[in-house]
Amino acid sequence: MILIYQYHGGDYIEEDTGEKKHFNGQLFDAVVFDDSIKEFLALKKKLADYFDEKSIEDIFDYIPPQKTNQIFTPRDIVKKMVDMLEEENPGCFDDKDKTFVDLYMKSGLYITEIVKRLYQSAEMKKQFPDDKERLVHIFAKQVYGLAPTEIIYKIATSYILGFADDTDELKHNFKQLDALPYAKESTLQKKLDEVFGS
């Protein structure tokens, strides 16, 4: 919304005088702005396949740190977090009945790392030899996530489900919900049961 206002302009109220004024906008060169967006979207598509082990980057490497609490956790830190999870729970990515949740998704990187570990598990491959069937199971039965705002939900799900063109029909358990108030009130488990079923 801010970008649109800065580009197209609009009316505003001067704080000191209360006078209505008009801002003409045009802070961005339209051609440069459009080209930048196209280049970013092309790069996003190029880096979308997080199953590609040769890929050492993700689109979040190209987004500067934000001046809010919505800072994306770097990929190497996410990998260490998931490594620690596996160290503390050996074999957790080999069990088709294990479930994983990110209660405060921001980028989707944590969930994608879990999806990768489940998908690449030799034991999971034995139980679900068909790659698509294995993915369907993982998304429908094993990974869950909550995003605090609509924009963060769209960023996270776009990343998590952006690895291929045919993921629209993939049933998933990602919801837009700010878990923080429920955690503070000690009612989070009840809310999770309500949102995802018991």
> What one-character-per-residue DSSP string does 128-156 give?
--SHHHHHHHIIIIIEEEEESSHHHHHHH
- Say what the pLDDT of residue 25 is: 67
Per-residue pLDDT tens listing for the chain (198 residues)? 344 434 566 777 888 888 888 776 666 666 666 666 676 566 556 655 665 666 666 655 555 555 555 567 778 888 899 999 999 999 999 999 999 999 999 888 899 999 999 999 999 999 999 999 999 999 999 999 999 999 889 888 988 888 767 667 789 999 999 999 999 999 999 999 999 986
Which DSSP letter does residue 197 get?
-
Structure tokens at 189: 């488990």
- Residue entry with tokens 């998704």: 105
Evaluate whether 145 touches 106 at the Cβ level (below 8 Å).
no
State how beta strands 173-176 and 143-147 pair. Answer: parallel
Helical residues (DSSP H) of 9-51, grouped into ranges: 30-46
List, in sequence order, every residue forming a beta bridge with 143; answer none if it has no partner.
Answer: 100
- Say what the pLDDT of residue 158 is: 86
Structural domain boundaries in the chain = 67-196
The CB-side HSE value for 154 (13 A sphere, CA atoms) comes to 3
- Say what the pLDDT of residue 3 is: 43
Alpha-carbon gap, residue 147 to 65, rounded angstroms:
19
